[in-house]
Structure 1
Amino acid sequence: MASPEPVERPAATCLTAARRPDDIIKIMLATDNHIGYLERDPVRGQDAMDTFEEILKLAVKYDVDFILLAGDLFHENRPSREVLFRTMALLREHTLSDKPVQVELLSNPDDGKADGFSFPAINYEDPNLNVGIPVFSIHGNHDDPQGAGHEGALCALDLLSVAGLINYIGKIDLASDQKDPNSDSGGIKVKPVLLQKGNTRLALYGMGNIKDQRMHYELRTNRVRIVKHGPQEYVPEGMFDDSINLVVWGHEHDCRIEPEEVPGKPYFITQPGSSVATSLSDGESIPKQVAFLEIQGKEFQMTPIPLRTVRPFVMEELILSEEAEEHGFSLTDKMEINKFLRSRRENVGEEDEEDDTAPPKEMLPLVRLKVDTTGVPEMSNPIRFGQEFQGRVANPKDLLVFTRQKKSAQKAVKIDKPELSIDDPDLSTQNKLARVRFAQLVEEYLGAQELQLLGENGMGDAIQMYVDKDDSTAIKEYVSA
């Protein structure tokens, strides 16, 4: 996000000048909504959808000029029909209206439009649509474009875009030749969406998910180019240069929404984090928020807004040996250990009951007890432990997790022994199977084959495409390439 012309760093992340409503661009900022996460779960299946609806309602309440989503709107590259249906219905319900859009589009409305069709890429420029709150979104690594052929790579955001419900930005063509660093046809080129309200001008530079290896190459060879948007006004080459005011960072789920200064750089970074917990990690336990962002001239102000529909998530870490010493139970008594863990589970989260911003009490909480069992000879089954809390927590199957401290590595004493071969004529088949080392079998088998190596990164990407994106041809195409 930048001003169309080079600007100085704001003195602070607040509007110090007199507020001029006609000049203030108001934005609802969110990222990593992961709609569709655990959609078949009877308890948590609607969490992501409910919170996305809350975000849309907040945008209406705060009378924003547009909504900005920074990636991973969907949890999967190919969301189910039910997820698409409900997402489109919510967008239509809350963003289409006869409310006039106050931000004027200065850039070309046809930049990024669907090839072969006449309607513009920016939905509120289409005279056939009544858009009250425009939605701008980039794709993330979960909902990135896939596919090939004459139509090019597509994703769920393309469907929402042609339906006139969102404005899909940051879709960068990565098919260009990357062998020549000085080639004008290669590299990553980012064109801005230019907006204006009163005397405030805003440039949105969207960059969807790009694989780390590719981004590293493009940055190292100085091939990330911010495209010029005027004969006398331009952003210099290189990413996040001095004309940028605010960088909105997606993908990371920790909520660090308060703008942070970057040492040696004249801009701020905000990381809204996810609006739904997709893992039981420390970062996901941080209270989740969206932001009401106001921009006037060269200054901006960000107001965090707690999300009330997010399922409560509490986490506690215990070292069982220390707890046993303090509370006087034996590490060899499984019944006493389970009794202690049950009591700790009952106490987790009690301090949040009086919190006015907490979610409704009827929402079952997510609870994670991480227990260090170093020195404990035997523990009960954690899944069986969680079953006791069925109907009382949202995640009984993974409520309890055991960890142990890693033992210090000890030097192994190597004893030279003659390795037995699978072709040893003095051994019977039964003796071979009993005495020949498995590693030796594999080594001899591979030595007899004519094999070609597949690159680790490429094969890993192909497998991920097959598993995460349901691309049944990914591995075949990589192997035959």
Structure 2
Amino acid sequence: MSSENTLFPWVNYQDENLNISIPVFSIHGNHDDPTGAEGLCALDLLSASGLVNHFGHSHSVERIEISPILLQKGSTKLALYGLGSIPDERLYRMFVNNQVTMLRPKEDQDKWFNLFTIHQNRSKHGPTNYIPEQFLDDFLDLVVWGHEHECLIAPTRNEQQLFYVTQPGSSVATSLSPGEATKKHIGLLRVKGRKMNLHKIPLKTVRQFFIQDVVLGDYQDLFTPDTPHATKKVEEFCYAKVTEMLEEAERERLGCPLTPEKPLIRLRVDYSGGFETFNTSRFSQRFVDRVANPKDIIHFLRRREQKEDIKDEVNVDYGKLIKTAAVEGLRVEDLVKQYFEAAEQKVQLSLLTEQGMGKAIQEFVDKDEKDAIEELITYQLEKTQRHLQARGVTTEQDIDAEVLFRDSKKNTTEEENEIREAMNRARAHRLERGDNALDADILDELAEPMDSDEGSVPFPAPTRGRGRGSRGRGGRGRGRGEDCKLMFSKFIEECRCDTRQ
């Protein structure tokens, strides 16, 4: 190891002042990427202390030369190559431009077992947002691929480059996705000459994770959308499915005292075909003491129906204006902002604000605050009307000029106060009706949410009739309000289906 890659001048087990039983060699990942003027990362601190041996750090952004660490025991020779995490697009471009070189030992090149460790996207997330296996040199014997979380530890052969690839995956579940449900393993690699053997060792201290998909339309013998109390029956059906997964987790946990008692459970429910969602907050309370993720048990989804393009701005499919791939990981506020950035000018908001509408939809989706959107629209319309009356505006041209004051108050304290007042009015109306619906954040004190690529928004029971008015044909101010109600009645349904943050 050269001094240009680490502040520790040699491998730690060669230091006479240190007693190292098993030396550790490590490349850095994307979460501890070297930054700053000196290009330091967390591993550099451990390496400078002599605790680990950090290698695979490239200081150049123009050319990368990967030099191996040469180890020999008996007649077995191991050439250990490593490349720490680099932004995928940059590394992809460097491979294409032949700016990445892997150096080989000068002597007995064919007698070395060549092992390469890499921490990049293996799955294709975009045209250049990954590293194809074909980019790597064909003299390699084994590639240990990091970054990907799914445990695919059994070596697979790349038939084009003729090397093997092992993907150990993450040691714990970091998201509620199918790839994380695979049993977690580590591998013990034995090398003798040019031959290798990888022994899989299951991890027994990992929290269990079970995921299952159900399509409600496949159980028409039990219920249909027209069945009396169909939503209640669907909820009981989901309760039975979750209970089955908990029983399976308990059976697998027998004889493994180190396994955490509460498993992670995810039930993905496809409610296409007219079914309605139920209140997941109330559902989750039944499993608070039995699962590790009570707020994220149920994930509702539905197949998106293809619709023809319609020029009428009232009936247009606004969901098509938002790329599906960009929906994952977004908050509702982000989705609203993204929608209006992509929407045509004729459907841009004139009186309302994206921040206010995003907050109102968030209250509707997360907390079942049925009056949030209507109160926001009413509040801001009333304020606009008072402003126009005070200014003595009568003509349509003057109205168009005056409503531009909306743009001047974006992201200001005044706007935040307006949003807060509108939300307070919505809550007050709910209390006047005696509707003490359970807020979605009631479980915040009971469990922390898991990071999820699908999101963790508890879905409230659907409502009908709120915020759905006929298109106004009168004055510009009131007509805009009715347009917004019509527009967002559809947009809300898309949010309930597609957003999970």
Instruction: Please tell me the TM-score bracket, short chain as reference.
Output: 0.5 to 0.7
**Cα shift at 1:243:** 2.2
CA shift for structure 1 position 214: 0.8
CA–CA distance in 2 between the matches of 1:167 and 1:109? 11
Tell me which residue corresponds to 1:189.
65
- 1:379 lines up with 2:277 in the alignment: yes
Which of these two proteins has the greater Rg computed from alpha carbons? Answer: 2
1: distance between equivalents of 2:232 and 2:36?
55
Equivalent position of 2:76 in the other structure: 200
Aligned to 2:142: 246
Is structure 2 residue 51 aligned with structure 1 residue 156? no
Q: CA deviation at 1:192?
A: 0.9
Q: CA deviation at 1:384?
A: 3.3
Counterpart amino acid of residue 204 in structure 1:
L
Distance 1:315 1:327, change over 3 A: same
CA deviation digits over 1:9-36, x for unaligned, max 9?
A: xxxxxxxxxxxxxxxxxxxxxxxxxxxx
Contact 2:5 2:58 in 1 (8 A): no
C-alpha separation in 1, matches of 2:166 and 2:397: 68
C-alpha separation in 1, matches of 2:107 and 2:263: 56
Q: Does 1:223 align with 2:99?
A: yes
Q: Report the TM-score when normalising by structure 2.
A: 0.56
Contact 1:110 1:122 (C-alpha < 8 Å) held by counterparts: no
Contact 1:288 1:306 in 2 (8 A): yes
AA aligned opposite 1:394: A
Alpha-carbon distance in structure 2 between the residues aligned to 1:288 and 1:419: 52
Alpha-carbon distance in structure 2 between the residues aligned to 1:232 and 1:362: 50
- CA pair 361-264 structure 1, distance change in 2 beyond 3 A: closer
Alpha carbons of structure 1 residues 332 and 133: separation in structure 2 relative to 1, 3 Å: same
State the distance in 2 between where 1:428 and 1:275 align. 64
CA gap 1:351/1:242 in 2 versus in 1, 3 angstroms: same
1:193-342 matched pairs, under 5 angstroms: 193-230=69-106, 233=109, 240-323=136-219, 325-328=220-223, 330=227, 333-342=230-239
Which range moves more in the overlay, 383-392 or 295-304?
383-392
2:65 matches 1:170? no
Rate the CA distance shift 1:361–1:166 in 2: closer, same or farther, 3 A.
closer
1:147 equivalent in alignment to 2:42: no
- Amino acid of the residue matched to residue 216 of structure 1? Y
Gaps in structure 1 of 5+ consecutive residues = 1-107, 179-186, 443-481
Shift of 1:418: 12
Evaluate the alpha carbon distance shift between residue 419 and residue 127 of structure 1 in structure 2; reply closer, same or farther with a 3 A threshold: closer
| Structure 2: unaligned runs, 5 residues or longer | 115-133, 314-343, 351-392, 411-501
CA distance in 2, matches of 1:331, 1:207: 61
SS in structure 1 of the partner of residue 95 of structure 2: helix
- 1:321-400 correspondence runs (5 A): 321-323=217-219, 325-328=220-223, 330=227, 333-355=230-252, 360=258, 363-400=261-298
Q: Give the direction of change, closer, same or farther, for the CA distance of 1:140–1:112 in structure 2 (3 Å limit).
A: same
Alpha-carbon distance change, 208 to 109 in structure 1, aligned in 2, over 3 angstroms: closer
Kindly provide the CA deviation profile for residues 279-317 of structure 1, in whole angstroms up to 9, marking residues without a partner as x: 000000000000011000110000100000000000011
State the partner residue of 2:25: 136
2:385 maps to what in 1? none
Shift of 1:382: 2.1
Change (3 A) 1:164 1:245: same
Q: Give the drift of 1:111.
A: 5.9
Give the alignment of 1:463-478 within 5 angstroms: none
CA distance in 2, matches of 1:133, 1:269: 24
* Alignment of structure 1 residues 58-69 onto 2, 5 Å: none
The structure whose RCO (Cα within 8 Å, separation 6+) is larger is 1
1:432–1:229 CA distance, 2 compared to 1 (3 A): same
How many residue pairs were aligned?
312
Give the distance between the partners of 1:418 and 1:159, measured in 2 at CA. 53
CA–CA distance in 1 between the matches of 2:257 and 2:96? 45
Q: Provide the C-alpha distance between the structure 2 equivalents of 1:243 and 1:231, rounded to a whole number of angstroms.
A: 15
Query: C-alpha distance in 2, partners of 1:383/1:192?
Result: 54
Pick the aligned partner of 1:123 from 7, 12, 16.
Answer: 12
Q: Which amino acid aligns with 2:231?
A: K
What RMSD in Å do the two structures reach over aligned CA positions? Answer: 3.5
TM-score (norm 1): 0.58
Instruction: Give the Cα separation in 2 of the matches to 1:419 and 1:327.
Output: 46
Q: 1:195 to 1:225 in 2, by over 3 A?
A: same
Using the alignment, how far apart are the partners of 1:331 and 1:219 within structure 2? 61
Cα offset, 1:343, TM superposition: 1.3
Question: Is the contact between residue 290 and residue 305 of structure 1 (CA under 8 Å) also seen in structure 2?
Answer: yes
Letter in structure 2 aligned against 1:326: D
Give me the whole-angstrom Cα distance separating, in 2, the residues matched to 1:401 and 1:145: 37
Does the 8 Å CA contact 2:287/2:294 hold for their aligned counterparts? yes
Q: 1:384 to 1:352 in 2, by over 3 A?
A: closer
